[in-house]
């Protein structure tokens, strides 16, 4: 015969002295159980009178008991149906109406997460529990106890679902706030769900086995090593989520780049175990959240908030095309409609950097730098310059443009600015008498072979004339 029900000892779990708690709880539970067994042999007065009336009609005790039990079951089912009907058609309609018309987002979030629906499930379960305690007395004690234990387990599970709905509604309300753009609480919500689920399972198992929950918790302490292996990812994710949130390393909406996980895109979601990233090709990468702490990644949030996105363009120039700037070049610079507005600033900047001898390379560098500062899509408050390297290689001398775009969100605008800079350099460098270094292509080789063939034919013709 079982000797414990979990609901009669909840108050004793709060006692500070565990030994005293166990002794008192055991005595009170045993007393409660024996009292319940004694009371279970006495039927409710209405059921008792109905049972006696059936006996007066000439039915045997077995038939009286069976019919009485069926009648009580039917009455309890009818009562539960009436309560559920009233909840679904009266109470829930009223709550739905209030949730949709209310300006308060709290009621709407609770309704959308089915908090009220799951909460009101407890009312029919309470009716069943009262019916089992009241109208089913005097019938088979084992069946009554089994029904009560099953109902208690369902109540515990319903309470768990209700708490889950409350936590989800809390997360939905938090997502509406400005703070949600800085840090996510979804990991903490999941941790709370795991803890609530863990204790609910303990209570349900204790109810089924008719054991004290504290004894089950003590037994789980011995299995801590196994549990740490089973929940390894969860524990690592919990610690990592705290670090990510405390150090503000990543937020939903951040653009991150993590080559080791093939991730390059926008963070869509951060939960207890993983970070969801939507890449630029619309694929989705799930990164274990502890990898965000143990491995390196790039967060472009600082660039987006700084007001400028950097780009660098490099061009190889042929060294043999560099020469001193002559009067014709200066005259063209001042007379050309496109370069004339920038001619004076270009010449001053070029002479300040090359006061002794002005070259076409210095003039072109100054022109590009002035042009960059006048570009409407570039941020002149951030580092902007055009320069050439001081070392020459087998690819000539390097020319570099370094600037920041004002737009940090649109990839199309960013690429359009880069294209404009490349086109400006490619089209204007020859106007300053500069040539780009480029390895010979197939067309160059064919042209060279043609030149060599013409020279050979000319030499042969000249030799024939001399003979």
Give residue-wise pLDDT tens across range 101-121: 777 778 888 888 888 888 888
How is residue 436 annotated by DSSP?
B
**Among candidates 363, 396, 386, 406, which has minimal Cα distance to 313?**
386
> What was the pLDDT predicted at 55?
63
Q: Is 164 left (phi over 0), alpha (psi -120 to 50) or beta?
A: alpha
Q: Is 90 left (phi over 0), alpha (psi -120 to 50) or beta?
A: alpha
Question: Residue 194: CB partners within 8 Å, gap ≥ 6?
Answer: 234, 272
Question: Residue 361: CB partners within 8 Å, gap ≥ 6?
Answer: 317, 322, 388, 397, 432, 434
Confidence of residue 139 (pLDDT cuts 50, 70, 90): low
Q: What mean pLDDT comes out for the span 213-222?
A: 72
Q: What is the pLDDT of residues 172-187, one digit of tens each?
A: 888 887 777 667 777 7
Whether 53 shows a pLDDT value over 80: the answer reads no
Contact 301, 312 (CB under 8 A): no
Which tops the pLDDT comparison, 167 or 3? Answer: 167
3-state secondary structure of 268: strand
How far, in Å, CA of 115 to CA of 170, rounded? 11
Q: Which two tokens stand for residue 85?
A: 């009907």
Which tops the pLDDT comparison, 305 or 329? Answer: 329
Q: What residue ranges in 196-352 does DSSP mark as E strands?
A: 255-258, 263-270, 274-279, 284-288, 298-299, 309-317
For the chain, how long is the longest CA-to-CA vector? 153
Terminal Cα-to-Cα distance of the chain (whole angstroms): 133
Which tops the pLDDT comparison, 440 or 26? Answer: 440
Lowest-confidence pick of 33-47, 292-306, 314-328, 381-395: 33-47
Confidence of residue 215 (pLDDT cuts 50, 70, 90): confident
The residue extents of the domains of the chain are: 6-222, 239-299, 307-432
How far, in Å, CA of 452 to CA of 410, rounded? 52
- The class (CATH top level) of 239-299 is mainly beta
Whether 30 shows a pLDDT value over 50: the answer reads no
Whether 159 shows a pLDDT value over 80: the answer reads yes
Q: What is the pLDDT of residues 227-268, one digit of tens each?
A: 777 777 777 777 887 778 777 788 888 889 998 888 999 998
Confidence of residue 49 (pLDDT cuts 50, 70, 90): low
Phi/psi of residue 362, nearest 5 degrees: -65, -40
Q: Which two tokens stand for residue 308?
A: 């400028």
Q: Which two tokens stand for residue 391?
A: 């070392």
Q: Is the dihedral of CA 270, 239, 174, 121 positive or negative?
A: positive
Confidence of residue 315 (pLDDT cuts 50, 70, 90): very high
Q: What residue ranges in 143-238 does DSSP mark as E strands?
A: none
How far, in Å, CA of 323 to CA of 66, rounded? 115
Whether 153 shows a pLDDT value over 70: the answer reads yes
Averaged pLDDT of the chain: 79
User: How far is C-alpha 329 from the geometric centre of its chain's CA atoms?
Assistant: 59
Gyration radius of the chain's alpha carbons: 42
Which tops the pLDDT comparison, 381 or 54? Answer: 381
> What was the pLDDT predicted at 404?
93
Confidence of residue 50 (pLDDT cuts 50, 70, 90): low
Whether 304 shows a pLDDT value over 90: the answer reads no
How far, in Å, CA of 255 to CA of 253, rounded? 7
Reported as half-sphere exposure (CB side, CA atoms, 13 A), residue 336 has a value of 14
404 - beta bridge partners? 310
Which tops the pLDDT comparison, 135 or 102? Answer: 102
Global confidence as pTM: 0.52
> What was the pLDDT predicted at 234?
73
3-state secondary structure of 255: strand
């Amino acid at each position: 015969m079982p000797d414990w029900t979990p609901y009669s000892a909840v108050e004793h779990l709060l006692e500070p002295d565990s030994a005293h708690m166990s002794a008192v709880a055991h005595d009170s539970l045993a007393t409660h159980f024996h009292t319940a067994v004694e009371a279970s042999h006495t039927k409710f007065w209405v059921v008792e009178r109905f049972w006696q009336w059936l006996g007066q009609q000439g039915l045997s005790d077995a038939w009286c008991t069976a019919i009485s039990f069926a009648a009580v079951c039917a009455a309890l089912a009818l009562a539960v149906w009436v309560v559920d009907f009233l909840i679904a058609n009266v109470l829930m309609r009223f709550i739905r109406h209030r949730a949709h018309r209310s300006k308060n987002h709290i009621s709407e979030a609770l309704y959308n997460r089915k908090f009220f629906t799951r909460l009101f499930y407890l009312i029919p379960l309470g009716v069943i529990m009262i019916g089992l305690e009241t109208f089913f007395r005097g019938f088979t004690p084992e069946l009554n106890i089994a029904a009560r234990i099953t109902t208690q387990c369902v109540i515990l599970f319903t309470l768990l679902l209700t708490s889950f709905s409350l936590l989800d509604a809390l997360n939905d309300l938090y997502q509406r706030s400005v703070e949600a753009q800085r840090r996510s609480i979804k990991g903490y919500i999941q941790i709370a769900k795991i803890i609530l689920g863990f204790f609910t399972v303990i209570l349900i198992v204790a109810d089924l086995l008719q054991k004290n929950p504290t004894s089950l918790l003590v037994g789980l302490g011995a299995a801590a090593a196994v549990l740490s292996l089973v929940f390894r990812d969860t524990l690592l994710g919990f610690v990592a989520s705290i670090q990510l949130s405390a150090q503000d390393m990543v937020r939903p909406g951040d653009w991150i780049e993590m080559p080791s996980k093939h991730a390059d895109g926008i963070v869509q979601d951060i939960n207890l175990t993983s970070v969801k990233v939507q890449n630029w090709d619309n694929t989705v990468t799930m990164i274990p959240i502890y990898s965000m702490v143990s491995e390196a990644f790039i967060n472009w949030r600082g660039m987006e908030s700084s007001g400028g996105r950097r780009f660098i363009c490099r061009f190889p120039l042929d060294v043999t095309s560099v020469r001193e700037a002559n009067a014709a070049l200066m005259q063209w610079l001042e007379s050309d409609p496109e370069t004339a507005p920038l001619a004076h600033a270009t010449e001053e900047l070029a002479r300040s950097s090359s006061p002794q001898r002005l070259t076409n390379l210095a003039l072109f560098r100054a022109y590009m730098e002035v042009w960059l500062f006048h570009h409407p899509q570039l941020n002149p408050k951030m580092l902007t310059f055009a320069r050439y390297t001081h070392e020459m290689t087998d690819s000539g001398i390097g020319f570099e443009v370094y600037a920041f775009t004002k737009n940090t969100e649109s990839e199309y605008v960013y690429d359009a600015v880069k294209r404009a800079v490349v086109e400006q350099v490619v089209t204007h460098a020859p106007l300053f008498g500069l040539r780009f270094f480029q390895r010979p292509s197939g067309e160059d080789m064919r042209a060279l072979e043609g030149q060599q063939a013409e020279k050979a034919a000319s030499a042969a013709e000249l030799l024939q004339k001399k003979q």
